[in-house]
Structure 1
C-alpha cells in the first residue's frame, strides 16, 4: 500500500514540478526499487487469490499419488506451499490453531517434534533469487516450467524477467484452471501460456526452450518407471547448446535411483551459483542451495 501511495504522490507532484522536479524526486526515491517492490506486492496479491481457492494444504483430491507419498515419509510430513504461505502467514495460522509446526511424539503428552514441511512451489524469495541473480537476462528468450502447478514460476517470470514467452506444462486440469484465472485477472496473457499436457508430448516446446524449470516435478507425481521415461524424454529433446535447466533437487539426486541411460557429463554442465548475492532480510540459505542450474552441452 505504501509503494502505491508513493507512486500517486510522484504522479501528482510531476504535474506541477515538470521534468526537473521529477528527476529530483527520482533521485530521492530509487525508481527501480519502486518497480521491484510493486512486483512483490502483485505476487503477494496473486498468492492471496490462490489461497482463497484452495484448502490450507494446497493439495487436491485428484493428487492421489502425491498424497500417498507424503503419508509414506519416514517423518510426519505436511505439504505447505511456499508460494502461498511465507513464515509470517504460517506463524499467524499457528497462533490461530489452523496449522502446526510440530507433532506429538506420544499422543496426549507434551513431547513434540518439528513436522517436516514439503513444498511443490518456489517461495517469493526463491523466485527473486532465480530471476534476479541465478538466470541471465532473458530478453527474447522462451522459458518452460514443467509441472507449473499454481503458476508461481510463470508469474514470477512475467514480473521479474523480460522473457518473451513463459510456458507452463501441467497435467492437472484443476491447476490449469487456477493458473488461467490468474493470467486473465492480472493481464499476463501476452507472455504467459499454460498447456494442459504431459511434458512427454511436448518435444517441440523442449527443443525450442532457452530455459526449462523443474521444481520437485516428478518424484511425488509419477511412479519410478514414469519418472525414468520422463527424464529420458527431456534429455533427448532438450539439446539446444547453451540453453539452461533449473532443477530442485539436483539432477544427480533426481535420477540416481532410476533406471535410465542418461549420462549427465555428456548432456549438461552444472553452473556454480553464488547464493551470497541475495542480500534481502528474508533469506533462507538452505532453500536457495536446493536450486541447481545447468547449461546444456
Structure 2
C-alpha cells in the first residue's frame, strides 16, 4: 500500500473509534514503543548489535572485578542499589530478565515477608535514546569538530557520535585497560577506526587533547571511580585545560553537583556559561537523576 492510501486507511480507522476511547488511543499512539520496529534506522540497529556483542562479553551487572572502588561505593548506597547498564539493557530487556527470574526490581525489606521496596538502579552509560537525544538535540552540528569522552568505559558515546554526528574525530579516554580492549574490539569489528581513537590513559595526562577539544562529555565519570582527593585533582586539571573559546561540556551530573561535595576552589562563572537540558527517557533512575548539564566555555 502506498503512502496516500495508507494515510487514508488510518484516518478512516480512527473515525470508527468510539469518541470516548479516541483520546486514549491517540495518547497510546504518541507514547507507545510498539512502533519501534518501523521507525528504527540502520544506525539504531547497528548500536543494538553492538550492545548484544558487549552483553556477551560482560557479566549481567556490567561491572568488572578491577573496579574495586566503584563496587564498594555502590554497596555503600543508603538503599540497595544495582548497576544496570542503560546502553546494554533497556526497559523492555529488564522486564524480560525479571520475568525469567534473572533480575528483580525490588528487594525484601524484611527477609521472608512480602514487604518489598524498589531497588535503586544506576548506570554509567547513556541509553540508546539518550545518545540520540544528545546528538540530535543537545549538540550542534559537529562537522569538523573534535569530541572527547572522558571515561569512555564501553565506548557508547563514541559509537553514537560516529553514527549520529559528523564529528571529525572522537576520542575516548579510559583508565581501565579491560574496557579499552572491549572498545577496540567494537571499533575494529564495525570499522569505526577512521574517526574513533581510544586512549588508555589518565585524563590528567591529556592536556593537549582537552585544550583542542570542541566537545567534552563526562557521564558519571569520577564519583564512583576516584576518591575525593583524586576527583578534585581531575576537576582542577580539566578546568585549567578546557579553555577553548566556545567549547561545549556535557556533564552528568551537572558541574555544580559534581563539585559541590569536593574541597575545591573552581569558580564556574568566569569559566563556563551554563545551559541545562533533560538528557533521558525519564524511565531509568540514575544515581543523581537523569539531569544533564551543558556548559559553554567563556
Same fold, TM-score > 0.5, yes or no? yes
Aligned equivalent of 1:152, options 139, 156, 161: 156
Structure 1, unaligned stretches of length 5 or more? 1-33
The alpha carbon displacement at 1:289 in A equals: 5.0
TM-score by length of 1: 0.84
Tell me, in whole angstroms, the C-alpha distance in 1 between the residues paired with 2:293 and 2:77. 24
Aligned equivalent of 1:54, options 58, 62, 69: 58
Deviation beyond 6 Å, 4+ runs, structure 1: 285-288
Determine the structure 2 residue equivalent to 1:108.
Answer: 112
1:193 equivalenced with 2:197 (yes/no): yes
Aligned equivalent of 1:224, options 220, 225, 228: 228
The alpha carbon displacement at 1:272 in A equals: 4.0
Aligned equivalent of 1:181, options 185, 193, 198: 185
1:172 equivalenced with 2:176 (yes/no): yes
Aligned CA-pair RMSD = 1.9
TM-score by length of 2: 0.84
Higher helix share: 1
1:244 equivalenced with 2:245 (yes/no): no
The alpha carbon displacement at 1:36 in A equals: 6.4
Query: Structure 1's 35 and 105: CA in aligned 2 closer, same or farther, altered over 3 A?
Result: closer
Aligned length: 260
The alpha carbon displacement at 1:109 in A equals: 0.9
Are 1:125 and 1:283, in contact at CA under 8 Å, matched by a contact in 2? Answer: no
Structure 2, unaligned stretches of length 5 or more? 1-37
Determine the structure 2 residue equivalent to 1:92.
Answer: 96
Are 2:106 and 2:119, in contact at CA under 8 Å, matched by a contact in 1? Answer: yes
